[in-house]
Amino acid sequence: MVDLKQSVQYVKGVGPAKAKLLHHIGIDTLDDLITYFPRTYEDRSKPKMIATLVDGEESLIEVMATSNVSEVRIGKNRSILKLVVRDESAPCVITWFNQSYLKGRFKVGQRYKFYGKAQVKYGKVEMVNPVFDVEESSKNTGKIIPIYPLTYNLKQSAIRNAIENGLKIVNGNLEETMPEYLLKEYHLEELNTAIKQIHFPNSFEEYDKARKRLVFEELLSMQLALSCLKNKYDNENDGIAYSKEVKMSDVINNLPFRLTKAQLKVLEEIDNDMEMQKPMNRLLQGDVGSGKTIVSIIASYKAVKCGYQVAIMAPTAILAEQHLQEFTKVLEPFGIKCELLLGGTRPKKRQEILENLKNGTINVLIGTHALLVEDVVFQNLGFVVTDEQHRFGVRQRSIITQKGNCPDVLVMTATPIPRTLALILYGDLDISIIDELPPNRKKIETYAVTKSMEERINNFIKKNVDEGRQAYIVCPLVEENEEIEAESVTNLQEKYKNDIFKNYRVSYLYGKMKQKEKDEIMHEFKEGNIDILISTTVIEVGVNVPNATIMVIENAEHFGLAQLHQLRGRVGRGENQSYCILKYEGKSPEIRSRMKIMCDTNDGFIIAEKDLELRGSGEFFGTRQHGIPEFKIANLFEDMETLKSVQSVALKIESADPKLEKPENKILRKLIDEKFTKRIEI
Ligand code: ADP
Ligand code: MG
């Protein structure tokens, strides 16, 4: 047995100094070390003829030295070494900068292998600072070399060595983590081979097999860990069984509009859950504007009329305020008292709220993270809604639910996620989807334009504002990011306010402003006292101003599709035709195709899939924000096929052996206990 928890410091060639560097990249133990997977590989195994080298390409050549090393000294500590080599096809000059110590290493007539970037100019071939081997040795060449991610001050060779030595300690003695029957059925490599070959594959076939196994294991344990969490909730019988006597229809029949079929279906699912004893844990997915809020209002009605309190958590104060308005409008006529608690709530007011919360005078408390604070105590919290949950995560969810006694939980998100992915990101929740927009919504007309259209766009905005509408202009705020050459809010606001739109009421909003200021501006905009609001993405989430009909997004090429879609969702919320104008720069086909997708469809699910495809899963989800551990090796997009087979395996295992108690599954139980459950529940 190998002690995988042993400190990495004692691996040969590591020591205290390197151990510190390794700590920066999350490597503390032997286990961390051998599961620090390569980012990519360099194929140094296939030699090429010098005459066939391509400029800028990393290549391996097998050559003989035809000259001695010559050295040119430039200044005190700087030098250039040159060596001429050749193979049957052509000569090549090898150049080293500032590596004098290599001078004595080469002899005329001796054979060497060099690996490095080729420079081909006017038919002459040169290689600068290559790695090399003498004769047949293969320390640096002749094989596939792993390249590791983000190694700070660590050299690739240092981490490679450490891993090589770590694997020597392991010596093929890792305990298998997957059941025999799965390895067989899915033709998966056994663990020791997989770990060894993911680092040092002899061929890309070996690499493929190793990776497949490790991805399979990672996705399966994740999926099983989530369903175990879910089973755990299912087994808790101490939740609240809401009364069948309280009817959601009492509110529904009182609304100024008719709910869509999709809303009704989702409400039925929620109603069923609420009436059952076991606590509800449900994810409500729906595109922007699909009417999720009203669903949560109706469910809250039921909870309150059954004698319980409700907590609504929103990610921003602006949203929380908006919710308060909507909740109050619908629920006050039924004698339900809603209140707002924010980080900025005055101490006196706060004290009053806390008292009324404790004595049960307040039925629905709406707020931001401020609700999570310890002294916020409910009399009997029975229903929790977290809105736009990608901002929260599992941990916050569990803090707020613990303020009640196994309350029902509804998580709402406006980030549409393809079903397969929803299963692995929210596998601990049941999923409801609103897949239809309220009727009579006009499609938001979307145009992608370049600089040359600027004047026409500005006139178009003026025309709409003259007709009484309002507009958003969004620019990516780049104060902390100089890499992106986008116009900052303040630049834009000067340009627009003092020049182009000087006859209009222009204001601006950005993340770093004081909360109070932000709220005031948003309030003014809602009231119609601001014509044009220049803003960063702080307005991305959920803000509802039906009179705003124009959304201009500057440098749209810097945004992901899902984010553009969210931003676009700020308009098209009233009766008037709305427009989204994507200003972009750049001619690359990739940028154009992204703009085209936005112009072609308003369907968030389609956009989500395309976005995922274009950007990969990591960036798309920012998995960390979901409160779910990042994947070490799986990539949710590339590994979609594996994910699908894993999900069917997980389903089979779950139905046959939900607690993973059968002998053949005990090993899985151990795997997820060790690797996942703790991290998920925190
Ligand atoms: P989101 O799903 O983005 O949170 P909202 O709940 O903010 O959407 O709803 C957007 C707007 O649509 C709100 O003004 C809401 O009152 C309205 N709405 C919701 N459902 C319907 C419906 N069935 N018919 C008409 N309007 C609706
Ligand atoms: Mg919403």
Judge whether residue 629 has pLDDT over 90.
no
* Residue 416: Cβ-neighbour burial (10 angstroms; 0-12, 13-18, 19+): buried
577 and 452 fall within a common domain: yes
Please choose from 290, 293, 444 the residue to mutate so as to test ligand 1's pocket, defined by most ligand atoms within 8 A of CB.
293
What protein residues have CB closer than 5 angstroms to ion ligand 2?
Answer: 542
Beta carbon of 260 within 6 Å of any ligand 1 atom: yes
Q: Among 208-217, 309-318, 441-450, 630-639, which stretch is predicted with the lowest mean pLDDT?
A: 630-639
Q: How confident is the model at residue 90 (pLDDT cuts 50, 70, 90)?
A: very high
- Examine residue 438 and state whether it is found in any structural domain, yes or no: no
Q: Which two tokens stand for residue 633?
A: 């090796």
Let me know whether 37 and 50 are in one domain: no
Q: Which of 257, 410, 539, 576 to mutate to test the pocket of ligand 1 (most atoms within 8 A of CB)?
A: 257
SS3 313: strand
What are the C-alpha distances in Å from 360 to residues 147, 383, 621?
60, 14, 38
Check whether 297 has a pLDDT greater than 80. yes
Cα angle 418-282-295, degrees, rounded to a multiple of 5: 95
DSSP assignment letter at 273? H
pLDDT confidence of residue 304: 98
Catalogue the E-assigned strands of 129-245: 131-134, 144-147
Q: What is the pLDDT of residue 540?
A: 60
> Which residue, 601, 627, 655, sits at the end of a domain?
601
Cβ–ligand 1 contact at 261 (below 6 Å): no
pLDDT in tens, 14-49: 999 999 999 988 899 999 999 999 988 988 988 999
Residues 469, 534 share a domain:
yes
* Helical pair 317-331 and 292-305, crossing angle rounded to 10 deg: 60
Both 351 and 484 in one domain: the answer is: no
3-class SS letters over 558-598: HCCHHHHHHHHCCCCCCCCCCEEEEECCCCCHHHHHHHHHH
pLDDT confidence tier of residue 215, bands split at 50, 70 and 90: very high
**Number of separate domains in the chain:** 4
Residue that terminates a domain, selected from 559, 577, 601: 601
Give me ligand 2 centre to Cα 521, in Å: 20
My answer on whether 499 and 379 are in the same domain is no
Is residue 240 within 8 Å of 308, Cβ to Cβ? yes
What torsion, rounded to 10 degrees, do the Cα atoms 563, 566, 572, 578 define? -10
Top pLDDT among 632 and 664 is at 664
More confident residue, 588 or 273: 273
Residue closest via CA to ligand 1's atom 18 equals 291
Question: What's the gap in Å between 501 CA and the centre of ligand 2?
Answer: 31
Taking CA atoms, 158 is separated from 148, 164, 196, 267, 644, in Å, by 11, 10, 17, 58, 37
**Residue 588: pLDDT band with limits 50, 70, 90:** confident
What per-residue confidence (pLDDT) applies to 682?
Answer: 38
Any atom of ligand 1 within 6 Å of the Cβ of 294: yes
Q: In this predicted structure, what is the pLDDT of residue 673?
A: 83
Residues 131, 135, 137, 140, Cα dihedral to 10°: 10
Would you state the pLDDT for residue 366?
97
Alpha-carbon torsion 482, 485, 489, 494, what sign? positive
**631 against 93, higher pLDDT:** 93
673 within some domain: no
Q: Are residues 405 and 516 in the same domain?
A: no
302 φ, ψ to 5°? -60, -45
Mean pLDDT value across the chain: 87
pTM of structure: 0.73
Atom of ligand 1 nearest to the CA of 569: 3
Task: Tell whether 466 and 451 lie within a shared domain.
Answer: yes
Is the CB of residue 293 below 6 angstroms from any atom belonging to ligand 1?
yes
- For ligand 1, atom 9, the nearest C-alpha belongs to 291
Q: Does 206 reside within a domain?
A: no
Is the beta carbon of 259 within 6 A of some atom in ligand 1?
Answer: yes
Highest mean pLDDT among 32-41, 304-313, 571-580: 304-313
Q: Which residues pair with 552 in a beta bridge?
A: 473, 581
Question: What is the sign of the dihedral through the CA atoms of 525, 531, 535 and 537?
Answer: positive
Identify whether residues 473 and 511 lie together within a single domain: yes
User: Among 632, 587, 593, 631, which residue's Cα sits nearest to residue 610?
Assistant: 593
Atom 13 of ligand 1, residue of closest alpha carbon = 291
Q: List b or e across 472-511, with b for residues whose CB sees 16 or more CB atoms inside 10 angstroms.
A: bbbbbbbeeeeeeebbebeebbeebbeebbeebbbbbbbe
Among the bound ligands, name the one nearest to the CA of residue 287.
1
**Ligand closest in space to the Cα of 547:** 1
pLDDT higher for 420 or 679? 420
- Torsion 472-478-591-597 (CA) sign: negative
Sheet holding 381-386, edge to edge: 338-341, 364-367, 309-313, 381-386, 408-413, 281-286, 430-434
Tell me, what's the pLDDT at 227?
80
Confidence of residue 77 (pLDDT cuts 50, 70, 90): confident
pLDDT beyond 90 at 598 = yes
660 ligand 1 Cβ < 6 A: no
292 lines ligand 1 (CB under 6 A): yes
Residue 625: inside a domain: no
Indicate if 265 and 317 belong to the same structural domain: yes
Q: How confident is the model at residue 235 (pLDDT cuts 50, 70, 90)?
A: low
Regarding the beta carbon of 230 and ligand 1, being less than 6 Å apart is answered no
**Per-residue pLDDT tens over the stretch 246-291:** 999 999 999 999 999 999 999 999 999 999 998 998 999 988 788 9
Distance 289 CA to ligand 1 centre (A): 5
pLDDT at 166 over 70: yes
Nearest residue (CA) to ligand 1, atom 10: 289
Residues 485 and 545 in one domain: yes
pLDDT band at 318 (very low <50, low <70, confident <90, very high): confident
Question: Whole-angstrom Cα distance, residue 389 to residue 431?
Answer: 13
Atom of ligand 1 nearest to the CA of 546: 14
Q: How close is the Cα of 228 to the center of ligand 2, in Å? A: 30
CATH number at residue 136: 2.40.50.140
User: Does 19 share its domain with 167?
Assistant: yes
Residue 194 has pLDDT above 90, yes or no: yes
Ligand 2 centroid–CA 287 distance in Å is: 9
573 lines ligand 1 (CB under 6 A): yes
Q: Residue 236: left if φ>0, alpha if ψ -120 to 50, beta else—which one? A: beta
pLDDT at 476 over 90: no
Say yes or no: CB of residue 194 within 6 Å of ligand 1. Answer: no
**225 within some domain:** no
Say which amino acid occupies 581: I
Distance 437 CA to ligand 2 centre (A): 13
Query: Tokens at residue 571, please?
Result: 């308009």
* Of residues 326 and 136, more confidently modeled: 326
CA of 8 to the centre of ligand 1 (A): 55
Give the torsion sign (CA, 313, 319, 320, 326): negative
Residue 552's closest CA among 525, 529, 575, 580? 580
pLDDT at 394: 66
Averaged pLDDT for residues 203-222: 94
CA 291 / ligand 1 centre spacing (Å): 3
* Angle separating helix axes 261-275 and 292-305, nearest 10 degrees: 30
Hey, which residues does 185 pair with through a beta bridge? none
CA-based nearest residue to 640, from 617, 623, 624? 617
Give the per-residue pLDDT at 258.
95
Neighbours of 624 (CB within 10 A): 11
Q: Is residue 429 situated within a structural domain?
A: no
Query: Amino acid identity of 360?
Result: G
Closest residue by CA, ligand 1 atom 12: 291
Three-class secondary structure assignment of 70-118 = EEEEECCCEEEEEEEEECCCCEEEEEEECCHHHHHHCCCCCEEEEEEEE
Beta-bridge mates of residue 383:
310, 408
Question: Among the three residues 578, 601, 624, which one is the final residue of a domain in this structure?
Answer: 601
Task: Please check whether residues 119 and 253 belong to one and the same domain.
Answer: no
Q: For residue 280, is it within any domain?
A: no
Q: Is residue 119's pLDDT more than 60?
A: yes
Determine the structural domain holding residue 515 and report its residue range.
Answer: 445-601
Rounded distance between C-alpha atoms, residue 287 and residue 603, angstroms: 8
pLDDT value of residue 485? 38
544 ligand 1 Cβ < 6 A: yes
**Torsion angles phi and psi, residue 35, rounded to 5:** -105, 20
What is the amino acid identity at position 473? I
Name the more confident of 677 and 155: 155
In CATH, what number is assigned to the domain containing residue 347? 3.40.50.300
What is the rounded average pLDDT of the residues 73-90?
90
Instruction: For ligand 1, pick from 294, 385, 442 the residue to mutate: most ligand atoms within 8 Å of CB.
Output: 294
CA dist., res. 301 & res. 274, Å (int): 12
Residue 513 alpha carbon to ligand 1 centre in Å: 29
Residue 626 DSSP one-character state: G
Tens of pLDDT along 407-463? 999 999 877 777 777 777 777 788 899 988 888 778 899 999 998 999 999 999 999
Give the H/E segment covering residue 367.
strand 364-367
Q: Nearest residue CA, atom 23 of ligand 1?
A: 259
Predicted pLDDT at 95: 94
Instruction: Kindly give the number of the ligand 1 atom that is closest to the alpha carbon of 286.
Output: 2
**How would residue 679 be classed by pLDDT, with cut points 50, 70 and 90?**
low
Mean per-residue pLDDT, 627-639: 72
Query: What is the position in ligand 1's atom list of the atom closest to the CA of 288?
Result: 3
574 CB under 6 A from ligand 1?
A: no
Among 125-139, 288-302, 539-553, which stretch is predicted with the lowest mean pLDDT?
539-553
Q: How far is the CA of 299 from the centre of ligand 2 (A)?
A: 15
Helix (H, G, I), strand (E, B) or coil at 473: strand
> Could you tell me if residue 124 is inside a domain?
yes
